[in-house]
Chain A
Amino acid sequence: EVQLVDSGGGLVQPGGSLRLSCAASGFTFSNFWMSWVRQAPGKGLEWVANIKHDGSETYSVDSVKGRFTISRDNAKTSLYLQMNSLRAEDTAVYYCARGRDLNSWGQGTLVTVSS
Chain B
Amino acid sequence: DIQMTQSPSAMSASVGDRVTITCRASQGISNYLAWFQQRPGKAPKRLIYAASSLQSGVPSRFSGSGSGTEFTLTISSLQPEDFATYYCLQHNSYPITFGQGTRLEIK
Taking beta carbons and an 8 Å cutoff, which residues of A are in contact with B?
A: 35, 37, 44-47, 50, 59-62, 95, 100-108
Q: Is B87 an interface residue (CB 8 A)?
A: yes
| Cross-chain pairs A/B with CB under 8 angstroms, 8 sampled | A35-B96, A44-B98, A45-B101, A47-B95, A101-B32, A101-B89, A102-B89, A102-B91
**B45 surroundings in chain A (CB, below 8 A):** 105
Given contacts A45-B87, A95-B43, contact A102 B34 (CB under 8 A): yes
On chain B, the residues within 8 Å of A44 by CB distance are: 87, 98-101
Complex: how many Å from CA A46 to CA B98?
7
Which residues of B pack against A, CB within 8 Å?
32, 34, 36, 38, 43-46, 49, 55, 87, 89, 91, 94-101
Identify the 4 closest CB pairs spanning chains A and B, nearest first: A47-B96, A105-B43, A45-B98, A44-B101
**CB-nearest residue of chain B to A47:** B96
| CB-defined contacts of B99 to chain A, threshold 8 Å | 44
Known: A46-B98, A47-B97, A101-B49. 11 other contacts (CB 8 A): A37-B44, A45-B101, A47-B89, A47-B95, A47-B96, A102-B89, A103-B46, A103-B49, A105-B43, A107-B43, A108-B43
From A35, A46, A60, A100, name the one whose CB has the most chain B CB atoms within 10 angstroms: A100
B100 touches A62 (CB 8 A): no
> Looking at the complex, which one of A50, A61, A105 makes contact with B44 (CB distance below 8 Å)?
A105
**Residue among B46, B97, B101 with the highest chain A CB neighbour number at 10 A:** B46
